[in-house]
Structure 1
């Protein structure tokens, strides 16, 4: 699609998940900021249980807006990005979810909707990678911007209680993690960039596009959202204290010889399991599957973020 011309009045589309209520009037904030800059009236679209953002994003793209703002959690952002990716239209974020992992990686304010809206409308732009995912060899693919997983991590997402998330936020994931610690490893075959098959017995396989999670912990050390590479992490705790080895190596940023945690980099990956496991994309549970194919679409999404120095742990060429 041709990018909107700079010699006309600009327009933003705001796609908001109405369930994510932070107390702030997001529509009023965005409308006020746009009006102050002489932009056209905001195209306002709400997601629904039947359409979590894709249809609304297509309406915005068809309308030829200059920026599409996804206001919601990582799931809303992922669905909107799936449509905006490759169009040349910029994507902005106003984080309203529990995790807001993409926003945290990009230093977008997670507790100040007005500052996030300013970055979404008037911030700097970076071209970032998007990862396409096909589950069980389906015709249709999905995308993710932060991370995807099969096994233990996906079980946490599928088993997290929504009522507890509303009460204690991200600590609800800790509760689900504890309840899913026990379990058997699955026989797994991993192929990276068409190379030799890597065989393991694993509790989890994860693919990362950027590395940080809650608390600033870098779960994929060295992963950058614009390097054209996919980071793969395998988790295989052994023995009664196996999970301590996993946690220890995570806090050591992957350093050490403990085989409970391994890292790989590639542009494409194929993961085959002997038995179905839970699957998640950016925190959205997709049900169970036995096969997942991942492919990096390098620098295909224009993403708005705040001005200022970017963390070298996130992007390849931080701004001075």
Structure 2
């Protein structure tokens, strides 16, 4: 054994630096060099060089997130739109690996709800590395009795809202952002309601004639519009909203119902809170999750997985309409 303690100290291994993995959608174009910015921010914060994983056409993020965890990443940053975030979160849910957000999409719905900067990539990266960590719910969705379920973090919808997502003009979206959804929404206002059966928390199914039914994990969508009043992303509850316009002025009743937040006698807009829900439509309807149009469906089974996902967000008091405990 050495008689010189200072020699032992000199030979002690240096501390292992934390390492981020970035799962990035390479089709998203930005005004700054995201890779250079991430690498520089990691150096500035004392982190190791990040692991860089690009999504592919046949894998929008699942395999990359699994690889990131297998390589021991301390945080996995989803760099892309809401679809990339959803795929990465699906793999991180139920694990101890936290999710960071680097918004690069049009909607960036989860980031907006959690106050993650959507127009400040350097700020978003710092938040992913050093922000406060909270646990949020995820919602599992089984579509048309498929063997495997999927998840969403913000919302899922059957009917009009999904039609709007699927019919959005891509070129217009590139020019004006989320306002392109307004254009699609106006163009698709005409249409017939569909008989829909709904079961809340395993209860007896009841019937409605609907243009749209949506499940929400948190309240806000594009433009800051709050469509699920009282929804909190960590309360262990799923919020269901139905839209049933009737007659030529039916959409005015829907708008009035949204403004009243579902209060009153009208049935143009109804709200339910639950831990699980099941939905059957008489005919196939357009289906979307977190703003991504995913085809058609006639049956959805939704179930909340409470506080299943660790996520990084900015420090400071949060909107109490989003979190049950607004302070860390």
The TM-score with structure 1 as length reference comes to 0.96
Say if 2:112 is the partner of 1:125.
no
State the Cα distance separating 1:245 from its structure 2 match. Answer: 1.2
Cα distance in 1 between the residues matched to 2:24 and 2:31: 14
Inter-partner Cα distance in structure 2 for 1:215 and 1:226: 22
> Could you tell me which residue of structure 1 aligns to residue 3 of structure 2?
none
Partner residue of 1:98 out of 106, 123, 135: 106
RMSD: 1.1
Residue 64 of structure 2 corresponds to residue 75 of structure 1: no
Aligned partners of 1:93, 1:25: CA distance in 2, in Å?
Answer: 17
Structure 1 distance, partners of 2:291, 2:278, is 20
Q: Please state how far the C-alpha of 1:257 moved relative to its aligned partner.
A: 2.3
SS at match of 1:255: coil
Tell me the distance in 1 between the aligned counterparts of 2:99 and 2:249: 43
The one of 69, 80, 88 equivalent to 2:96 is 88
Q: Which moved more, 1:167-176 or 1:302-311?
A: 167-176
Residues 174-232 of structure 1 show CA distances to partners (whole Å, capped at 9, x for unaligned) of: 11111211111111111111112121111111000000112222100000000000000
CA distance in 1, matches of 2:310, 2:59: 23
Distance in 2 (CA, whole Å) between partners of 1:37 and 1:306 is: 15
Aligned to 1:3: none
Where do 1:24-173 residues align within 5 Å?
Answer: 24-173=32-181
Tell me how far apart the structure 2 counterparts of residues 165 and 256 of structure 1 sit (CA, whole Å): 36
* Equivalent of residue 186 in structure 1, options 177, 180, 194: 194
Map 1:262-281 → 2, pairs under 5 A: 262-281=270-289
Partner of 1:205, secondary structure, is: strand
Q: Which of structures 1 and 2 has the bigger CA Rg?
A: 2
Shift of 1:22: 1.8
CA contact (8 A) 1:129 1:300 kept: yes
Unaligned ranges ≥5, structure 2 = 1-14
SS at match of 2:241: strand
- Larger mean Cα displacement after TM superposition, 140-149 or 173-182: 173-182
**Could you tell me the TM-score, scaled by structure 2's length?**
0.93
Cα distance in structure 2, aligned partners of 1:303 and 1:248: 35
> Map of 1:219-230 to 2, 5 A cutoff?
219-230=227-238
